[in-house]
């Protein structure tokens, strides 16, 4: 039986089966366990989606209340982890902090028996934000924050801890919460596939997560929202936006935040986060110039290049208007995607088979071996 040759980057290659999400079926759409992303984003909380992805169904009220209580309990940062976070330089990238947190918790609270995946997933989802912000405030100002803000959601807890405020604009909380839902799961994306490859070797849960975080860090995956904001932030007028685009066109450089390997046209998550970014731009603390520039770039990219924005493009302006610093954008992605990674690790382990693909060899033909003495004489 002949083997099917892989396209570049494994594009179009079916690498396994999953019941967690459908992405780009027929070139459109996104569903989590059968639920349309629009319904989940506008009608659910991130905690409900967390339960859905890890457990397989949406929770009833009692189940949701129990999850919220568990999340509150699991926010506590271990003392030894705090000590380590206090030693890390403030120049560290937040993604390196997240990877370190996963590794240290894996040492302090190791996976010792089967069936711990749900508990560990909730532990990391709950802990990542407080741990990141503990490091951030300590390294920048010496403040040791109290990580537990009571019964707050993941979104509200993060925003309160970052801004060191007891009250946050409800629209900012909702925007942040929706972003977590939109980033939560996306089939066999690079980081998810990497996590599944790792645990397919029967490695532990935390190893799968550190693998995923390292994969997510790159600008062609999770880091795209950071890269988008880096070029958007200096553009304060339409002429500046045009100059930027024209320069990128001429140099044939990628414009981060546009295009997708799966969706043929519009990323179904993009109009949702765009909606919230637009809402924020109309508030007292919003940035209407940033939105005007973003919309102009979007219009030109669609009309001139037939390339549509992906989730990362308007997530950049949404996070910026939530007051979150650009280097934290991808770290927030980690908090969200922990739900998808956890679900996929559980699924991989339920019917595990070691992932060991083959490559198409493109090296030289078989060569005759030359002893080192002859190589010296021949100056080979």
The catalytic residues are 221, 260, 312
Q: How many CA atoms are closer than 13 Å to the CA of 348, on its beta-carbon side?
A: 28
Residue by residue, DSSP assigns 129-140 as: HHHHHHHHHHHH
Tokens of residue 162, six digits:
């970052």
CA 273 – CA 43 distance, rounded (Å): 14
CA 325 – CA 68 distance, rounded (Å): 27
CA dihedral angle for residue 306, residue 241, residue 182, residue 12, rounded to 10 degrees: 30
* SS3 per-residue string spanning 138-154: HHHHCCCCCCCCCCCCH
In degrees, to the nearest 5, what angle opens at C-alpha 327 toward C-alphas 128 and 91?
Answer: 90
* 236 touches 289 (CB < 8 A): yes
């Amino acid at each position: 039986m002949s083997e099917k040759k892989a396209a570049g980057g494994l594009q179009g290659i079916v690498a396994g089966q999953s019941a967690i999400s459908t992405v780009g079926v027929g070139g459109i759409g996104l569903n989590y366990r059968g639920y349309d992303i629009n319904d989940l984003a506008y009608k659910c909380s991130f905690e409900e989606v967390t339960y859905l992805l890890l457990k397989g169904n949406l929770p009833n009220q009692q189940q949701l209340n129990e999850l919220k209580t568990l999340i509150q309990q699991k926010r506590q940062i271990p003392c030894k982890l705090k000590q380590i976070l206090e030693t890390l330089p403030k120049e560290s990238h937040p993604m390196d902090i997240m990877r370190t947190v996963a590794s240290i918790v894996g040492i302090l609270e190791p996976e010792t028996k089967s069936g711990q995946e749900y508990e560990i997933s909730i532990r990391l989802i709950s802990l990542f934000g407080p741990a990141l912000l503990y490091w951030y405030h300590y390294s920048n100002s010496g403040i040791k924050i109290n990580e537990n803000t009571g019964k707050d959601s993941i979104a509200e807890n993060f925003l309160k801890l970052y801004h060191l405020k007891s009250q946050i604009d409800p629209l900012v909380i909702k925007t942040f919460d929706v972003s977590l839902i939109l980033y939560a799961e996306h089939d066999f994306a690079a980081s998810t596939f990497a996590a599944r490859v790792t645990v397919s070797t029967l490695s532990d849960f935390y190893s799968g997560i550190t693998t995923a975080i390292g994969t997510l860090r790159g600008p062609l995956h999770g880091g795209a929202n950071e890269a988008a904001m880096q070029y958007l932030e200096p553009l304060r007028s339409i002429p500046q936006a045009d100059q930027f685009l024209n320069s990128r066109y001429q140099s044939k450089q990628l414009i981060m935040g546009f295009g997708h390997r799966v969706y043929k046209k519009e990323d179904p998550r993009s109009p949702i986060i765009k909606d919230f970014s637009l809402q924020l731009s109309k508030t007292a603390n919003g940035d209407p110039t940033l939105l005007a520039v973003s919309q102009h770039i979007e219009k030109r990219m669609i009309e001139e290049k037939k390339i549509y924005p992906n989730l990362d493009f308007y997530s950049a302006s949404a996070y910026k208007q939530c007051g979150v610093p650009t280097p934290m954008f991808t770290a927030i992605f980690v908090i969200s995607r922990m739900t998808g990674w956890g679900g996929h690790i559980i699924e991989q382990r339920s019917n595990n088979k070691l992932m060991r693909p083959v490559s198409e060899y493109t090296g030289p033909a078989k060569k005759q071996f030359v002893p080192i003495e002859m190589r010296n004489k021949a100056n080979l």
